[in-house]
Structure 1
Amino acid sequence: MRTRLASAATIALVLLSGACGGRDSSGKANDSGATSAAFRVALLHPGPTSDNSWNWGAAQGLARIKDSLGAQTSAIQTKTPAEFEENFRQYGSQGYDLVIGHGFEYQDAAVRVAPEFPKTVYVTTSGNQVGANLAGIEFDFEEPSYLAGLIAGSLTKTGVVGTIGGTELPPVKRSFAAFAAGAKAARPNVQVLGSYIGNWDDVNAGKEQALAQIGRNADVIFQNADAAGLGVFQAAKERKNVLVVGSNADQNNVAPEVTIGSVVIDLPRAF
Structure 2
Amino acid sequence: MFTTKKHRAWGATALSVTGILLITGCSSGSVSGGEAFSPCIVSDAAGFDDHSFNESALRGITAAADELGVEFSQVESGSENDFQPNVDAQVAEGCDVIVTVGFLLSDVTNAAAAANPDVQFAIVDDALDADGDGAPDVDNGKPILFDTAQAAFLAGYAAAAYSKTGVVGTFGGAQIPPVTLFMDGFVDGVAYYNEANDADVKAVGWNKESQTGVFTGGFEAGIEAKTAAQSLLDQDADVLLPVGGPIYQSAAEAIRDKGGDTALIGVDADVYETDPSVADLLLTSVVKGVDASVNDVIVAASAGEFSNEPYVGTLENDGVGIAPFHDFADRVPADLQQQLDDITAKIIAGEIEVTSQSTPG
> TM-score interval w.r.t. the shorter chain?
0.7 to 0.9
Q: Secondary structure at the match of 1:255?
A: helix
**2:121 aligned partner, one-letter code:** Y
**Structure 1, 65-74 or 101-110: larger mean CA deviation:** 65-74
CA offset at residue 81 of structure 1? Answer: 4.4
Written as runs of structure 1 = structure 2, the 5 A alignment for 1:37-116 is 38-46=36-44, 47-116=46-115
Which residue identity is paired with 1:251? V
The residue that corresponds to 2:231 in the other structure is 212
**Residues 1:251 and 2:271 are matched in the alignment:** yes
Measure, in 2, the Cα distance between the counterparts of 1:251 and 1:94: 33
Note the C-alpha offset of 1:193: 2.0
Q: Please, what TM-score do these two structures have when normalized by structure 2?
A: 0.64
2:170 matched residue in structure 1: 163
Question: 2:203 is aligned with what amino acid?
Answer: V
- Count how many residue pairs are aligned between Structure 1 and Structure 2: 248
Cα distance in 1 between the residues matched to 2:119 and 2:281? 44
Relative to the length of structure 1, the TM-score reads 0.83
5+ residue gaps, structure 2: 1-16, 129-135, 206-213, 295-361
Aligned to 2:116: 117
Instruction: State the identity as a percent.
Output: 23
Tell me how far 1:266 sits from its aligned partner.
2.2
Which structure 2 residues correspond to residues 125-204 of structure 1 after superposition, within 5 A? Answer: 125-129=124-128, 130=136, 131-187=138-194, 189-194=200-205, 195-204=214-223
The alpha-carbon distance between structure 1 residues 49 and 89, as it changes in their structure 2 partners (threshold 3 A), is closer
**Post-superposition CA distance 1:67-125 (Å, at most 9, x none):** 21122321122254442222223322332101111011111211112111111011111
Name the counterpart of 2:21.
28
Residue identity in the other structure for 1:260:
L
Check 1:94–1:63 CA distance in 2 against 1; reply closer, same or farther (3 A cut): closer
CA contact (8 A) 1:121 1:133 kept: yes
Contact between 1:25 and 1:76, CA under 8 Å: does it hold in 2? no
Q: In the TM superposition, what is the alpha-carbon distance from 1:255 to its structure 2 partner? A: 2.3
Q: Structure 1 residues 267 and 219 mapped into 2: Cα distance closer, same or farther (>3 Å)? A: same
The residue that corresponds to 2:292 in the other structure is 269
Measured against aligned partners, the alpha-carbon deviations of 1:131-182 in whole angstroms (never above 9, x if no partner) come to 2211101112111100000111222222221112221120210110110011
Determine if contact 1:154/1:187 at 8 Å carries over to the other structure: no
Structure 1 residue 258: deviation in Å? 2.1
Q: What value does the CA root-mean-square deviation take over the aligned residues?
A: 2.1
Provide structure 1 residue ranges, at least 5 long, that are not aligned to the other structure.
Answer: 1-23
